[in-house]
Amino acid sequence: AAKNGGRGMYRFYSAELKDVEQERQIMLDDLREAMENETLKLHYQPVVRTSDNSIVGFEALMRWEHPEKGNIPPNHFIPVAEDSDLINRLGEWAIRRACEDATAWPETVRIAVNVSAKQFANKTFVAGVTQALEATGLDPDRLELELTETVFVGDLETTEKTFAELKRIGVRLALDDFGTGYSSLSYLRSAPFDKLKVDKSFVDSCTQKDQNSAKIISAIIGLSNALGMDVTVEGVEAFDQFDLVCKKGAKYIQGWIYSKARPQAEILDEIANGGFKIKPSGPDQYRPERRSV
Ligand code: C2E
Ligand code: MG
Ligand code: MG
Ligand code: MG
C-alpha cells in the first residue's frame, strides 16, 4: 500500500518504519545495559490466602527505571525483547534472580515467575531452570512458572516434552491470564497445570453490574476445583470486588487490595518484623465495614 501511494508516500512510510526500528534497537541496547547495571529489577507482589490473610507466594514482576525515560512498564519492553533473542537472557536472568531472592523467605512461600512463549520454546530453557535451582538451592516445588496459552502456538510435541521435563524437575506450572485466549479448555485436558490464574479483566468488569463476568469467575473456580488445580484471582483492587470474588469461592487473591509489587528489601523488612500476614485495604470510598467476608 505504501508503494502504491507514489514515491513521496513510500518515503514517508519507510522513514517512519526506520524510526520505529531505530527505537526498537535503542530499547534493546538499553535493556541489555539495564540487566548488567541493575536498573532492571524484580519486584514481588503477594499472593494471599483469603481465609487467614497469609502470604503464600509472590509473583516476580519486572520493573525498569530508565535513566532518562523514567519508568517503562513490562507491557512495553517485554514485547520488544520477545521480538529478539534478548527475551531468553532476560527470562533466564529473572528466574535466577527470583530463585535467589526467594531463598531468603520462609519455606512455605512460593515464587512465581512469568515465562514468555518464545523463551519456553527455546532449546536451553529447561537447562536454565535447572541451573537456577541448582545454583540457589531453592526447592523446585517453591518455583512456579507462569505460562500463557500462547505456549501452545508452537509445535505441540515439543511443548508437551518441555512440560514433561519441567514436571520431572518438580517445578509448578500455572496458566496465566486464563480465559482471555482461545480454546483454553482443550489445553487443560492434557497439560499438567497446578494452578489457573483468573485474568484481571473478569474482575474489572465484575463491578459494572456484569452478571456474566461474576459467573465466569465462579465457573473457573469450579473448574479448577474439579480438576484439582489451585486458582488465583488476579487484579482485585476494591472491596466490592473482593467481596464478590470471595463469595464466588476464591481462596487465593493477588491484587492491589492487598499490595502492589514491592522490592525485595521491603519484603525482607517485613520478614524481620515477624509478619507474613497482610490485611486487605482499598481506596477510601470502599469502606471496610461493607465487607461481608
Ligand atoms: P501478568 O503476569 O498477568 O501480571 C499481573 C499484572 O497485573 C502486573 O502488571 C501487576 O502489577 C498487575 N496487577 C496486579 N494486581 C493488580 C491490581 O489490583 N490492579 C491493577 N491495575 N493491576 C494489578 P505488570 O507488572 O505491569 O506486568 C504486566 C505483564 O508483563 C505481566 O502480566 C506479564 O505478562 C509481563 N511481565 C512482567 N514481568 C515479566 C517477566 O519477568 N517475564 C515475562 N516474560 N513477562 C513479564
Ligand atoms: Mg503472571
Ligand atoms: Mg495475569
Ligand atoms: Mg499477562
Model confidence over 68-103: pLDDT tens digits?
Answer: 999 999 999 999 999 999 999 999 999 999 999 999
Mean pLDDT of the chain: 89
Q: Which of 35, 47, 61 to mutate to test the pocket of ligand 1 (most atoms within 8 A of CB)?
A: 61
Name the residue with higher pLDDT: 22 or 60. Answer: 60
Strand partners, 197: 232
Q: Where are the beta strands (DSSP E) in the chain?
A: 40-49, 54-66, 70-72, 110-114, 143-147, 172-178, 195-198, 230-234, 252-254, 262-263
Interatomic CA distance for residues 246 and 206, integer angstroms? 13
Tell me, what's the pLDDT at 12?
A: 61
Ligand 1 atom with minimal separation from the 113 CA: 41
How far, in Å, from the CA of 22 to the mean position of ligand 3?
Answer: 30
Lowest mean pLDDT among 61-75, 159-173, 203-217, 218-232: 203-217
Q: Is 78 in the pocket of ligand 1 (CB under 6 A)?
A: yes
286: confidence class by pLDDT, cuts 50, 70, 90: very low
Tell me, what's the pLDDT at 283?
A: 62
Tell me, what's the pLDDT at 15?
A: 73
E strand or H helix that includes residue 121: helix 117-121
List residues, by chain if needed, whose CB lies under 5 Å from ion ligand 2: 114, 146, 176
197: confidence class by pLDDT, cuts 50, 70, 90: very high
Phi, psi of 183 (to 5 degrees): 35, 50
Interatomic CA distance for residues 93 and 254, integer angstroms? 24
ipTM greater than cut 0.95: yes
How far, in Å, from the CA of 176 to the mean position of ligand 4?
Answer: 7
Tell me, what's the pLDDT at 270?
A: 86
Q: Is the pLDDT of residue 292 over 90?
A: no
Tell me, what's the pLDDT at 144?
A: 98
Tell me, what's the pLDDT at 255?
A: 96
